[in-house]
Amino acid sequence: MSVYLDHAATTPMVPEAARVLADQLFRTGNPSSLHASGRAARRVVEESRERTAAALGARPSEVVWTAGGTEADNLAVKGLFWSRRAQDPSRRRILVSAAEHHAVLDPAFWMAEHAGAELVLLPVDADGVLVVDALRRELEAHGDQAALISVMWANNEVGALQPLDDVVALARRFGVPVHADAVQAVGQVPVDFAASGLDALTVSAHKLGGPGGVGALLARRGLDLTPVLHGGGQERGVRSGTLDAPLIASFGVAADLAVTGRAEHAARVGALRDDLVARVLAAVPGAVLRGPADTARRLPANAHFTFAGCEGDSLLYLLDSAGVEASTGSACQAGVPRPSHVLLAMGVDEDVARGALRFSLGRTSTAADVEALLTVLPGVVERARAAGLAGRGTAVPV
């Protein structure tokens, strides 16, 4: 039986959300239809909208359903840029942190290549935390040209919590809307949309115990967004497409449970994470924890390491063959493994960045999972280093 330590990629559905999904799948009705079945489906959608909004500190009217976090991020980046540029053609600069998820970075780069945007990558420090002074300097120099700012709530690779209070305060001085991808944060740290002062926030169901294929963009009331999808005019005319009532109902249950159980969950997985980190650092020579060492400044379920002299893919495959599932956090483009852009933005040497592993915990994680990892990890790292040395033509003792 495998040990699953990749909850940041996706986490098992909670039973309550699975039951709701299964029940709703047997019901028929398009939420846009006016007959009885359609009205019943619409009621499910709106009750789930209210439930999700309450869990995240938003008004129901601020919840825009999407097919997941990536769509919500695209709607935020593209929709905000196009609406702002329509109001003021001089506002062409998109400001994002260099350590954003590709669901934010890639649409931002696309806008720069195809839509006349000017992309500004804001630096992060050695912990993966946005350098606020760099944002301040950018806004003081070009604030009247800024269309939007996007800074994630918590980094998906190294778990670093971002200084969103400072970002929002600066943005307000220059009238710039702020979006945050909070996909990793909900259920681990307190997330309150109204209290945050954000203009838009992304959340995804499968990261918090709900199903895949459904997410939401929280967009404050009065925020202008140009639609990315056109069709039936659903969701305030911002996101066309037939709403999936079963997925939305399951999402609402999962979001509610993730938020109400957050404190207990965070304390439990945080203790497991602390044990994992201490034991990895003690057992594996050359292991380096990435992200903030201060546990108050990182996600409680995240432990990210680099292992010098190793290739992340080798580590991943060796662990997998030993029954432990984790993640490298790096991208593979055209069949060529590439080091994580997050680690490179943090100033980590490229060769070192190639040897990255992320262990992320969830509701089903146990002390036995940590024990199983530590049983095999030292040998896995030793074998990966030997393979790396052999690949570089260095003699390896037999």
Q: Which domain holds residue 144?
A: 15-260
Give the residue ranges of DSSP H helices in the chain: 15-25, 36-56, 69-87, 102-114, 132-142, 164-173, 193-196, 245-260, 262-283, 312-321, 341-345, 350-353, 367-391
**Residue 329 pLDDT > 80:** no
With pLDDT > 90 as the criterion, what percentage of the chain qualifies? 94
Q: Do 250 and 290 reside in the same domain of the chain? A: no
On whether residue 1 sits in a domain, the answer given is no
CATH number of the domain where residue 373 is located: 3.90.1150.10
Give 191-237 pLDDT, tens digit per residue: 999 999 999 999 999 999 999 999 999 999 999 999 999 999 999 99
The domain that holds 173 is classified in CATH as 3.40.640.10
Q: Is 68 left (phi over 0), alpha (psi -120 to 50) or beta?
A: left
Q: Which of 260, 282, 313 is the last residue of a domain?
A: 260
Tell me: do 218 and 358 sit in the same domain.
Answer: no
Give the chain's domain count.
2
Same domain, 251 and 281: no
Question: Would you please indicate which residues are annotated as catalytic (active-site) residues?
Answer: 332
In-domain check, residue 396: no
Span 89-123, pLDDT tens digits: 999 999 999 999 999 999 999 999 999 999 999 99
Verify that 124 and 272 share a domain, yes or no.
no
DSSP string, 97-109: ETT--HHHHHHHH
Listed residues 243, 260, 277: the one ending a domain: 260
**Contacts of residue 113, Cβ cutoff 8 Å, sequence gap at least 6:** none
239 and 306 together in one domain: no
Let me know: does 8 contact 358? Beta carbons within 8 Å: yes
The residue to which tokens 């202008």 are assigned:
224
Q: Report the C-alpha gap between 140 and 136 in whole angstroms.
A: 6
Q: CA 44 from chain center: how many Å?
A: 27
Domain final position from 260, 279, 294? 260
> 331 pLDDT exceeds 80?
no
Place of tokens 């915990």: 361
| pLDDT per residue as tens digits for the range 280-305 | 999 999 999 999 999 999 999 999 99
Average the pLDDT over 246-262 and give the result: 98
How many Å apart are CA 4 and CA 342, to the nearest integer? 23
**Torsion sign over Cα 370, 374, 375, 380:** positive
**Cα dihedral angle (269, 271, 273, 276), rounded to 10 degrees?**
-130
> Can you give the pLDDT at residue 390?
62
Q: Can you say whether residue 187 is alpha, beta or left, with left for phi > 0 and alpha for psi between -120 and 50 degrees?
A: left
* Residue 258 CB contacts under 8 Å (≥ 6 apart), including other chains: 14, 55, 186, 187, 208, 209, 265
Give the model's confidence band at 394: pLDDT under 50 very low, under 70 low, under 90 confident, else very high.
very low
